[in-house]
């Protein structure tokens, strides 16, 4: 059983006991969260596709940790102009574990 759900502005394909990294959430560590923006639910027998959302479906997840991701390098250059800029950042992420999918 899996679902396609929107978490923090991005869509993820999730199944039970999956651990995924999402953009930083405001919830504290150890707290459970319900996500109601479910676009598709696939049980073993049937696929429910929402128009645009599946009614009554939700995904429950638990916040494991808050952390910073790997450094992302942003490099800009213009040929033959001597213009070079190098910047970087580390995105703020939240590690969550999917506990339950209810259709």
| 38-76 pLDDT per residue, tens | 999 999 899 999 999 999 999 999 999 999 999 999 999
Which pTM does this prediction carry? 0.86
| 31-46 pLDDT per residue, tens | 999 999 999 999 989 9
The domain ranges of the chain are: 2-65+94-102
The DSSP code for 51 is S
φ and ψ of 38, to 5 deg:
-105, 120
Instruction: Return the H-helix or E-strand segment holding 24.
Output: none
Residue found under tokens 């916040």: 63
Name all contacts of 69-72 with Cβ < 8 Å and 24+ positions apart: 69/21, 69/93
CB of 48 closer than 8 Å to CB of 40: yes
């Amino acid at each position: 059983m899996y679902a396609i759900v929107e978490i923090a502005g991005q869509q993820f394909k999730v199944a039970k006991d999956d651990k995924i990294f999402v953009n930083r959430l405001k919830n504290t560590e150890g707290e459970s969260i319900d996500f109601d923006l479910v676009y598709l639910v696939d049980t073993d027998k049937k696929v429910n596709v929402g128009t645009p959302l599946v009614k009554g479906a939700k995904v429950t997840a638990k916040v494991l940790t808050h952390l910073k991701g790997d450094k992302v390098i942003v490099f800009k250059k213009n040929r033959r102009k001597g213009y070079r800029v190098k910047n970087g950042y580390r995105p703020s992420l939240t590690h969550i574990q999917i506990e339950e999918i209810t259709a």
